[in-house]
Amino acid sequence: MHNNTHLAARANFSLRSALTFLVVGGFTTSMQYTVMALLIHFAGMSVVLASAIGFIVSAVVNYFLNARLTFRSKKNHGDTMPRFVATASIGLLLNSLVLAGLTSLGTHVAVAQVIATICVLVWNYTINAIWTFKH
């Protein structure tokens, strides 16, 4: 049990980090959804492409807020940013695949995007805690 506790502490798993991650994620997800909606409505862009662009825009803000507030990282950006980009890239792929798959099955875009967001949220928190921003 001691090893699991030690691993959790090194990996940044805590109630504080989880709650902060949700607040940061809520803010940046609202950014993603806003960009997505604007691109669909005003540019006539496809749902998946608009979501991907929104995801990328929000990921930039997400990185800096999570590094500073959620995981309180003391590492330099040269160490953490490439890891964050790798994690976010897989998250973007996951988002796009879930969104495309669900909408192709007839799921409403908003519902499909929320489900995709939940999948990415679990992925991002776990990998960022155990790898990207680990102490």
Alpha-carbon distances, residue 84 vs 46, 89, 92, 107 (angstroms): 26, 8, 12, 30
Q: How many whole angstroms separate alpha carbon 103 and alpha carbon 66?
A: 30
The Cα angle at residue 22 between residues 56 and 20, in degrees rounded to 5: 110
- pTM comes to 0.87
Provide the terminal-to-terminal Cα distance of the chain, rounded to the nearest Å.
20
Structure tokens that stand for 23 in this block: 């607040």
> According to the model, what pLDDT value does residue 60 have?
96
Alpha carbon 104 to its chain's center? 23
Give the residue extent of every domain in the chain.
2-132
**Ranges under pLDDT 70 in the chain:** 1-11
> According to the model, what pLDDT value does residue 118 have?
97
Q: Are 128 and 66 in contact (CB under 8 A)?
A: yes
> According to the model, what pLDDT value does residue 1 have?
47
3-state secondary structure of 31: helix
> According to the model, what pLDDT value does residue 11 have?
62
